[in-house]
Amino acid sequence: AKEGMLLKNGDTIETGAKSQAIYVIGKDAFFQRDNTTVNFASGAAADVMRVLTGKILSVFGKGQRTIQTSTATIGIRGTGCYIEDEPALPRSKPVGAGDTPLKPTKSSRTYFCLCYGTVELTPTAMPQQKETYSTKHHDHPLYIHDDPTMATCMVAAPVSNHSDIELALLESLVGRQPPFPSEYWRTY
């Protein structure tokens, strides 16, 4: 990829170690961190973004979009959000006779911060725990686990690894400002 390269729905963007990418697709802007793979669907599903692995800060214009991670389907509307997706990893060594083949070493986990806006969040492991909520300034960050044995797969988390300055940068790329004043900007 080169600076100025055209990105569009249907593309997959992958960053390697010690790399990052900032890009715009339509009215949406993204700050993709290292070791991250994101796919943007095309055609009838053009409003779908798949975070396959990694970390991404996103701001979205008006309209509905869907984000798919390893642990949840996230419906958003005019939103800023930060995601760190950690898919389950298969065992790194051969499985013994009593073990289940390809048993994961851990379940998948996604960190999700709705920085501002409205979301309908449906955990894959427990769709009956679907939540719809709005935030104004990082009010309800969560870890979403893909473990149906947990009492709840959505657990409160601290705000981390993204900043209001980064959100302001992304919004400026699409001619907008974050919905909170600059005196509230923080780094987490």
Question: What residues in the chain have per-residue pLDDT under 50?
Answer: 103-104
Per residue in 42-60, is it b (16+ CB within 10 Å) or e — as a string? eeeeebbbbbebbbbbbbb
Q: How far is CA 153 from the centre of its chain?
A: 17
Closest CA to 113 of 177, 176, 182, 166: 166
pLDDT at residue 89, as a whole number = 64
pLDDT at residue 104, as a whole number = 47
pLDDT at residue 46, as a whole number = 75
pLDDT digits (tens, 9 = 90+) for 75-117: 998 899 999 998 776 655 555 555 555 544 567 899 999 999 9
> CA–CA distance from 41 to each of 14, 19, 48, 110, 168 (Å)?
15, 23, 5, 20, 26
Residues 6 or more apart whose CB falls under 8 angstroms from that of 135 comprise 114, 115, 116, 117
